[in-house]
């Protein structure tokens, strides 16, 4: 079942002093997000990711097309009870504490008064913010605010969670925790739609991804399929012999920096390359399977039209 249905969605902004110049934010995109999947919306800055999210949240109005969530129009008030939203770089009321903020939002989302405290504390605990629950928000770091932002998106136990750049502002540990949190939402059967430009995050947790570029949808694909297509490549690095011609000849990619060399070869050639490195007297540093699937897919989708245009 499709939880999010987007059909020919368009957004045109009027710019300039007289508002006569039109700029297309979204150029008629269409895709669906299925129930229970983690769906990543990828794209460079200005691709239309945030615009899509803002339309879905009812913050801006589309210039054309339709968008439905859980089978209902996005402006249907019943939809809003079933969704949670984390905006990009969340700006939260700095005169409140995280606990006060979550209780307020829980109330706005229709959580009964007697349950608000319990639910808020649970959401803060899930986001790793229990210890700072009563700290004034204005004293919170950027990473802490991001965690509070995530907690407010799930405090009312929504069916669909929308996250705009959820890893932004987080350190590596925080990013891993957010990935785990998204995974746990997925395990509970919730649908997660999130936008990001960090491809490794998307690759680690998404079931499917859509690539947007300059307001156009460039493709929607299953991440597992992309990863399987990439299998069969291995990256081998060594030191001491920058030019081993036999390896260079069979390499898909060969790059030497001083004494260090990085070569990408077919998985089937691994043993031959390793033997060649040893025979040449070089020091083998690493043999690693290549995981650049999503990046390759992304760059192909985003760069291809540019290259075509250049040609």
Partner 1 sequence: MRARLALIAANTFREAVRDRVLYNLVFFALLMVAAAPLFGVISIGVEKIFMVNLGLAAIVLFGVVIAIFVGTGLVSKEIEKRTLYTVLARPVARWEFILGKYLGLAATLAVNTSCMAAGFFVAVAYVSVGLHAADVNLLVALYLIGLQLLVMTALAILFSSFSTPIFSAAFSFAMFVIGNFVEDMRGFAAMSGGPEGWLVRGLSYLVPNLGAMNVAAQVAHGQPVPGALILADTANALFYAVAALAAAVLIFERRDLK
Best CA proximity match to 154, nearest among 207, 214, 92, 106: 106
From CA 103, how far away is CA 114, in angstroms rounded? 10
Q: How far is CA 263 from CA 233, 272, 276, 283, in A?
A: 10, 13, 12, 14
Q: Residue 280: CA atoms inside 13 Å, Cβ hemisphere, count? A: 19
16 touches partner 1 (CB under 8 A): no
Taking CB under 8 A as the binding criterion, the range among 74-82, 196-204, 214-222, 240-248 that sits at the site for partner 1 is: 74-82
Stretch that binds partner 1, among 27-35, 87-95, 238-246, 296-304 (CB under 8 A): 87-95
Identified binder of partner 1 from the candidate list 91, 271, 281, 311, rule CB under 8 A: 91
Q: Which of 28, 104, 179, 274 binds partner 1 (CB under 8 A)?
A: 104
Q: Which residue has the tokens 């979204």?
A: 26
Of residues 98 and 297, the one with the C-beta less far from partner 1: 98
**Residue selected from 72, 108, 222, 300 as contacting partner 1 according to rule CB under 8 A:** 108
Q: Which of residues 155-194 bind partner 1 (CB under 8 A)?
A: 156, 162
**Residue range at the interface with partner 1 (CB under 8 A); choices 76-84, 179-187, 192-200, 253-261:** 76-84
Under rule CB under 8 A, residue 96 binds partner 1: yes
Start-to-end C-alpha separation, the chain: 42
Q: Whole-angstrom Cα distance, residue 229 to residue 225?
A: 6
Phi, psi of 42 (to 5 degrees): -105, 155
**DSSP classification of residue 140:** -
Q: Which of 40, 43, 48, 87 binds partner 1 (CB under 8 A)?
A: 87
Label the pairing between strands 233-239 and 64-69: unpaired
Q: Does 43 bind partner 1 (CB under 8 A)?
A: no
Strands 260-266 and 233-239: antiparallel
Residue 110 as a binder of partner 1 (CB under 8 A): the answer is yes
For the bound state, the minimum distance from the C-beta of residue 309 to partner 1, rounded and expressed in Å, comes to 29
Compute CA distances 35 → 4, 186, 229, 272, 275, whole Å.
Answer: 8, 10, 25, 46, 49
- Residue linked to tokens 């700290």: 135
Contact string (CB under 8 A) for partner 1, positions 121-160, x = contact: ----------------------------x--x---x----
Residue among 107 and 219 whose Cβ is closer to partner 1: 107
Applying CB under 8 A, which residues contact partner 1?
54, 57-61, 77-78, 80-81, 83-85, 87, 90-93, 95-96, 104-105, 107-110, 149, 152, 156, 162
């Amino acid at each position: 079942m499709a939880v999010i249905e987007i059909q020919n969605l368009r957004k045109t902004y009027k710019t300039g002093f007289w508002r006569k110049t039109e700029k297309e934010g979204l150029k008629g995109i269409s895709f669906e997000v299925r129930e229970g999947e983690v769906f990543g919306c990828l794209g460079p800055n200005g691709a239309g990711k945030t615009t899509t999210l803002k339309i879905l949240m009812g913050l801006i109005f589309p210039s054309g097309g339709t968008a439905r969530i859980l089978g209902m129009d996005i402006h249907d008030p019943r939809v809003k009870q079933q969704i949670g939203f984390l905006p990009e770089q969340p700006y939260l009321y700095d005169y409140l504490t995280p606990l006060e903020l979550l209780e307020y939002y829980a109330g706005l989302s229709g959580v009964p008064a007697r349950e608000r405290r319990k639910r808020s504390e649970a959401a803060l605990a899930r986001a790793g913010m229990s210890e700072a629950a009563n700290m004034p928000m204005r004293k919170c770091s950027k990473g802490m605010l991001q965690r509070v932002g995530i907690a407010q998106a799930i405090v009312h136990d929504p069916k669909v969670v929308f996250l705009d750049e959820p890893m932004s502002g987080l350190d590596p540990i925080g990013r891993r925790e957010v990935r785990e949190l998204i995974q746990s939402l997925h395990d509970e059967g919730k649908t997660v739609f999130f936008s990001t430009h960090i491809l490794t995050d998307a690759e680690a947790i998404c079931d499917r991804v859509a690539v947007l570029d300059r307001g156009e949808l460039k493709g929607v694909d299953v991440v597992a399929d992309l990863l399987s297509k990439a299998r069969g490549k291995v990256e081998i690095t060594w030191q001491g012999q920058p030019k081993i011609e036999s390896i260079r000849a069979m390499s898909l990619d060969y790059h030497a920096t001083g004494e260090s060399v990085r070569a990408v070869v077919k998985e089937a050639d691994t043993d031959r390359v390793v033997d060649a490195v040893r025979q040449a007297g070089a020091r083998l540093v690493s043999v690693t399977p290549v995981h650049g699937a999503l990046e390759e897919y992304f760059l192909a989708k985003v760069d291809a039209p540019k290259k075509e245009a250049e040609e």
